[in-house]
A and B are shown apart, each in its own frame.
Chain A
């Protein structure tokens, strides 16, 4: 009944009698007329005949109304069918057009596919990096990481993510803003024993970490609070999904064990596929935090002096991150039992879990956001290019369209035809784009962001959906202008002028499209140039040491358990002896140029201990903190490539028990003894009272401690063996050949000395830096790829515009030539037009890049965002390419033969 109502409503809206109803009336009228004629012929009077005809036709009025309804239903069905037929016809026509000009179509499809694919791939990256967060984390935006923010006496205000167990426990027990609080630490570890051991990433987590994240195990269970009890932690483990599949065949885990860091752990569960905790990097095995914590210090549950874990919390509904910060700060201050004033005043900040350990948004995320912009620009360029080429073709097909229109094709039909063509091209491009997205996704994920655990495939359904959407929008965007162009024609003019006329507004539109392509290419290329220059700056940066030439290995020490029958100092001495023995052996290996040992290693670990230097009451502080201490064996400076500026380096006779000596960094020497020489000065190192006087015997060049960007800090070096209260020895090897060839003999030699050793960690020191360089590498690669692509597309766009200009103006050129114009003048005219367009585009692009520089600057590395070399280079490149693109059409214009051209029209 509602249907009837609606029907009535529609009929009302329809207004005047519809076409269908008029046709029915006409048909009925004709029928009645014929019937009347028939009846009159058979002898009835006209009046009787009409009555009889109406009777025969059926119940008066009602019959006709029923017919109207039946016809309406019929026409609705038929019209729908017609529309579908038209669509199929259009599509078939469009496909024929695509096939007829294969190179034209292929070019459009490839450029669009690159644009679409790049966007889809970036969508996949953004989705993981910026939107959804790590896999299996429920409501990532309600999860916060707790940072400490304090004004340190050595380095001013700092924010850091590391915390001690005590700060985790106090927030867990006393803060009211969180429904759950958990803590975790990701550490390197080994799995398996001896030679079969391999390196893995171990996630040490408190039992409440898993409910905080909201993750469910794939099999078994996560460990509980009893197993993670600080007093008696148990050796239980939850293995990662990948390990479960590879090492356990995905079978039952009851009663199975895993050898973690040389000890047997009972497997209680399996983490779901792709679970990486709240980070994005791979985690192979999860173990109880308390078990890990025992190794940190004796009072680990209560001390404020050791920080080895990260704290996360889930906000209660309605609680903001600010409220949670204040709450946690209050709790921290109330429970702080230490004596440091600055630490008592420290604040707790609740920040997104995706932030860096320093409480900032990761550079990868910021660069990725830019790359999304880049991908969109590439797509816009591809769209502009497609629109341009379709417009050009529309000009060529004016006569065809005019003929079609003359034969009765409606204007709407012509628009639809052009739009369908655009859509067909976009759909084909979208299909090709799947491959492109896969390749770009692979590149970005595998090569540029290798540390992130990508679980979803590069082209998942989300990406496919994004791809389809982008393809449709692209098709519409690029076909819109040509479609409007096709509809806005005057038939007779088109029929008369043929291909020739193309001037005026439409030529302007095409020129604008070309110029804007050039402008966008300039922006991308400037971006590429800036990132490439950043990479150069990084390469050229003097880090003091030479990280790419040094292998860092760790000498495995026996897992002794608590000291028995020896003092702590005796055990330390024994361990040092092992390390020195390994060092001696390594030095004899063929291919080893230099080798040394170090406690405190650039980009890895740094230490700061009590230090007094007469006559200072307190050491001046520098922005980078410190002074930082390193304990290094002989040959350290030669191994690291760090020059000794004055005095001497260490020799084998500088050791535990020999005269305390020290080497200071250049900056330290200049800071502490600005007037005189540092050599021979006295430094009292360590917290012991009284500390012995260490004599300065050398000055070394400055070296970076943390990586690429850091504030200046003082450093000093003491002989390996003379250090107290710091530990963790790295074996440093400088091979004479390529480092890659050195790993196997190195590991073999170390294993020969310690057959019980598990996996022996060894890596080029540079690898510690790579993670820091990755945002720039990502930016440089992607900007360059997109920039080159944009340049190519813009060049072809310009070539096509000029070619059509030449085609359209053949007649004019012929007339000019006939009137005596020199071929060279005509060629110059065309080239001038092309380069002129490019100049406008370049100017606009440079202006945009100049303005946009403000936002890119923070992402660059010691590079001016308005670097004149980059700007000039890109401008020159673009103009050069535009010149090249103009030459072909210019030559063709030059070769127009007046007689042929004029006769051809």
Chain B
């Protein structure tokens, strides 16, 4: 397996929110979604995901409730709140701008 990219500090929250923007999911679903979306190239501990979820729950960016999966197992489902959606948009915009700037600077021809 190729060496995975470590997640840039602070972006995991945004990535998780992006996942939840599609649909409410439980923790493992989010993990698999992120693995698929990144082609398995992002490296983070599963526990970090839960840290992020708990943190965002306290900040009212997501809300959680216990539910039952299609094959009748108990799971804690997370959903994005209106506040979370606003946060996601804001973070996305600033990330895109930031990444664009950094790219522009780093790819400039040396004089």
The reply on A58 being an interface residue by CB < 8 A is: yes
Q: Does A15 contact B (CB under 8 A)?
A: no
Q: Is A847 an interface residue (CB 8 A)?
A: no
Known: A71-B54, A78-B57. A57 touches B47 (CB 8 A): yes
A-B contact count (CB 8 A): 61
Q: Are B46 and A35 in contact (CB under 8 A)?
A: yes
Chain B residues positioned under 8 Å from A58 (CB to CB) = 45-48
C-alpha gap A763/B50 in the complex (Å):
89
Asked if A674 is at the interface of the complex by the 8 Å CB criterion, the answer is no
> Is the beta-carbon distance between A30 and B54 smaller than 8 angstroms?
no
Q: Are A31 and B45 touching (Cβ within 8 A)?
A: no
**A67 interfacial by beta-carbon distance below 8 Å:** yes
- Given A70-B51, A74-B54, A30-B28 contact (CB < 8 Å): yes
Interface residues of B (CB under 8 A from A): 26-28, 31-32, 45-48, 50-51, 54-55, 57-58, 60, 73-76
> Which of B47, B51, B73: most chain A CB closer than 10 A?
B47
Interface of B is mostly: helix
A740 part of interface (Cβ distance < 8 Å):
no
Q: Are A70 and B28 in contact (CB under 8 A)?
A: no
A26 at the interface (CB under 8 A from B): yes
Contact of A73 with B45 at beta-carbon distance under 8 Å, contacts A27-B50, A67-B50 already known:
no
Interface membership of chain A positions 54-93, coded 1 if the CB is closer than 8 angstroms to chain B and 0 otherwise:
0011110001101100110110011001000000000000
Which residue of A34, A35, A38, A67 is within 8 Å of B54 (Cβ)?
A67
> Smallest Cβ distance from B40 to chain A, in angstroms?
12
> Residue of B at shortest CB range from A63?
B47
Contact call B55/A59, Cβ cutoff below 8 A: no
Distance, CA A668 to CA B6, complexed state (A): 118
Q: How many Å lie between the Cα of A70 and that of B52 in the bound state?
A: 9
A73–B54 alpha-carbon span in the complex (Å):
9
Contacts of B27 in A (CB 8 A): 27, 30-31
| CB proximity of B32 to chain A, nearest CB, Å | 8
Asked whether B73 lies within 8 Å of A30 as measured between CB atoms, the reply is yes
Q: Does A322 contact B (CB under 8 A)?
A: no
Q: B70 to chain A: closest CB distance in Å? A: 13
Q: Taking the complex as formed, is A687 at the interface, i.e. its CB lies under 8 A from any CB of chain B?
A: no
| Cβ of A82 to closest chain B Cβ, rounded Å | 12
- Chain A residues, CB < 8 A from B48: 58
Cβ distance B21 to chain A, nearest Cβ, rounded Å: 21
Question: How far apart are A77's CB and chain B's nearest CB, in angstroms?
Answer: 4
A to B CB contacts below 8 Å, 10 in the list: A23-B76, A27-B27, A27-B75, A30-B26, A30-B75, A31-B46, A63-B47, A73-B58, A77-B58, A78-B57
Q: Are A74 and B47 in contact (CB under 8 A)?
A: no
B47 & A66 in contact (Cβ 8 Å cutoff): yes
Name the distance in Å between B4's Cβ and chain A's nearest Cβ. 11
**Contact between B45 and A35, CB atoms less than 8 A apart:** no
B46 contacts which chain A residues (CB < 8 A)?
Answer: 31, 35, 56-58
Asked if A64 and B47 make an inter-chain contact with CB atoms under 8 angstroms apart, the answer reads yes
Nearest Cβ distance between residue B38 and chain A, in whole angstroms?
14
| Interface contact A63-B45, CB-CB below 8 Å | yes
Smallest CB gap from A26: residue in B:
B74
In the complex the two chains form, what is the Cα distance from A57 to B46 in whole Å? 4
A473 at the interface (CB under 8 A from B): no
Residues 627-648 (chain A) with a chain B CB within 8 angstroms: none
Which residues of the other chain, A, contact B58 by a CB distance below 8 angstroms? Answer: 73-74, 77-78
The interface centre, meaning the residue of B26, B58, B75 with most chain A CB atoms within 10 A of its CB, is: B58
How far apart sit A232 and B74, CA to CA, in the bound complex (Å)? 102
Report how far A854 CA is from B102 CA in the complex, Å.
93
Given A57-B47, A58-B45, A67-B51: 17 more A-B contacts, CB < 8 Å: A23-B76, A24-B50, A26-B74, A27-B50, A30-B27, A30-B74, A31-B27, A57-B45, A57-B46, A63-B45, A63-B47, A66-B47, A66-B51, A67-B47, A74-B57, A77-B58, A78-B57
Contacts of A26 in B (CB 8 A): 74
- Shortest CB-to-CB span from B52 to chain A, Å, is 9
Residues in B with CB closer than 8 Å to A28 are 47, 50
Interface string of A10-30 (1 = CB under 8 A from B): 000000000000011011101
Which A residue sits closest to B28, measured CB to CB?
A34
* Contact of A27 with B76 at beta-carbon distance under 8 Å, contacts A56-B45, A74-B57 already known: yes
State A527–B110 Cα separation when bound (angstroms): 102
B54 neighbours in A (Cβ, 8 Å):
67, 70-71, 73-74
> Nearest residue in B to A53 (C-beta to C-beta)?
B46
B87 smallest CB distance to A (angstroms): 16
Q: Kindly list chain B residues whose C-beta atoms are within 8 Å of the C-beta of A67.
A: 47, 50-51, 54
Which residue of chain B is the closest to A81 with respect to CB atoms? B60
Q: How far is it, in angstroms, between the C-alpha of A73 and the C-alpha of B76 when the chains are bound?
A: 18
Chain B residues with CB under 8 A of A23 = 76
| A254-285 with Cβ < 8 A to chain B | none
Q: How many Å from the CB of B54 to the closest CB on chain A? A: 4
- Residue among B54, B58, B75 with the most chain A CB within 10 A? B54
Name the distance in Å between A74's Cβ and chain B's nearest Cβ: 4
Whether B45 contacts A74 by the Cβ 8 Å rule is no
| B-contact 0/1 string along A693-706, CB 8 Å cutoff | 00000000000000
The answer to whether A59 and B45 have CB atoms under 8 Å apart is: yes
Complex Cα distance, B51 from A818, in Å, reads: 72
- Closest chain-B Cβ to A861's Cβ sits at a distance in Å of 70
User: Which residue of chain B is the closest to A34 with respect to CB atoms?
Assistant: B28
Whole-angstrom distance between the alpha carbons of A195 and B31 in the complex? Answer: 99
Q: What 6 A-B pairs are tightest by C-beta distance, nearest first? A: A58-B45, A63-B47, A58-B47, A74-B58, A70-B54, A57-B46
Taking the nearest CB of chain A, how far is it from the CB of B73, in angstroms? 7
User: With A and B bound together, what is the CA distance between A38 and B31 in angstroms?
Assistant: 12
In the complex, chain B residues whose CB is within 8 Å of the CB of A64: 47
A70 to B53, CA, bound (A): 9
* Shortest CB distance A163–B (Å): 75
A572 to B54, CA, bound (A): 102
Partner of B55, one of A34, A38, A74: A74
Q: Mark A308-349, 1 if CB is under 8 A from B, else 0.
A: 000000000000000000000000000000000000000000
Measured CB to CB, the nearest residue on chain B to A71 is: B54
- Taking the closest CB of chain B, its distance from the CB of A111, in whole angstroms, is 43
- In the complex, A324→B32 CA distance in Å? 91
A35–B29 alpha-carbon span in the complex (Å): 10
Using Cβ atoms and an 8 Å threshold, which residues of chain A touch B31?
Answer: 31, 35
CB distance from A61 to the nearest CB of B (A): 10
- Provide the A540-584 mask, 1 if CB < 8 A to any CB of B, else 0: 000000000000000000000000000000000000000000000
CA distance A23 to B57 in the complex (A): 14
Residues of B near A34 (CB, < 8 A) are: 28
- Cα A38 to Cα B29 with chains together (Å): 12
Residue of B nearest to A55 (CB): B45
Minimum CB–CB distance for A90 against chain B, Å: 21
* C-alpha gap A35/B27 in the complex (Å): 11
State in angstroms the CA–CA spacing of A30 and B58 once bound together. 22
Q: Please give me the residue from chain A that is nearest to B44 by CB atom.
A: A58
| Distance A78 CA – B76 CA, assembled complex (angstroms) | 16
Q: How far is the CB of A29 from chain B (nearest CB, A)?
A: 10
